[in-house]
Amino acid sequence: MITQKMKYALKALMVLGDERVATGKSMRIEEIAKRSGAPKRFLEHILLEIRNAGIIASTRGRAGGYALIKDPAQISIPELLRLIDGPIAPLPCLSRKAYQRCDDCTDEASCRLRRVFAEVFWSYLLIIESLTLADMLGGAPAGDVLLATSKPAA
């Protein structure tokens, strides 16, 4: 499950992506907050993290604001998830970027929890690793296609 902070980050980036296509201009944080539905004070901290990661830029002054500096197709959703929420693995022993042995684990090779969650997690990674901001900005949401193909037969 993604956090509210991540939802705000994604909504703000989608607003900036739409603005990039429409006008190519920077946006003031008040406008981003209004269009994304994110509280301005909270959004300031989120945009700072995203700016420090080199995804957006900020300019000061009357005509200043925030703008995407990376192509939406180059903005990886799982990397953004890791930036905002931290590791995305369900168990620390499955994380690629923040691996830690579980405190109560005596043998990873025979751990049934690890085996079951690994299968689910790798399937999830196959789908999510290919998602970019461009996918979120384009036509029908990717989830609609996945949900349509995964519905059980009646």
Are 40 and 93 in the same domain? no
pLDDT over 70 for what percent of the chain?
A: 90
Q: How many domains is the chain partitioned into structurally?
A: 2
Are 16 and 62 in the same domain? yes
Is 77 within a domain?
Answer: no
Mean pLDDT of the region 50-77: 92
DSSP state of 69: -
Q: How confident is the model at residue 148 (pLDDT cuts 50, 70, 90)?
A: very low
Q: How confident is the model at residue 139 (pLDDT cuts 50, 70, 90)?
A: low
Cα(72)–Cα(84) distance, rounded to whole angstroms? Answer: 17
Are 48 and 11 in the same domain? yes
Cα(47)–Cα(116) distance, rounded to whole angstroms? Answer: 36
What are the beta bridge partners of residue 57?
A: 67
Q: Angle 139-144-147 (CA atoms, 0-180°, nearest 5)? A: 160
Is 114 within a domain?
Answer: yes
Q: CATH code at 48?
A: 1.10.10.10
Are 51 and 95 in the same domain? no
Is 75 within a domain?
Answer: no
- 42 has pLDDT over 60: yes
Is 138 within a domain?
Answer: no
Cα(33)–Cα(56) distance, rounded to whole angstroms? Answer: 15
- 149 has pLDDT over 50: no
Cα(19)–Cα(67) distance, rounded to whole angstroms? Answer: 8
- 145 has pLDDT over 80: no
Are 9 and 37 in the same domain? yes
Which of 80-84, 103-107, 122-126 shows the highest mean pLDDT?
80-84
Mean pLDDT of the region 94-105: 83
Are 58 and 14 in the same domain? yes
User: Shortest CA distance to 16 belongs to which of 50, 66, 76?
Assistant: 66
Residue-level pLDDT at 120: 87
Q: Residue 50 belongs to what domain range?
A: 4-68
Is 83 within a domain?
Answer: no
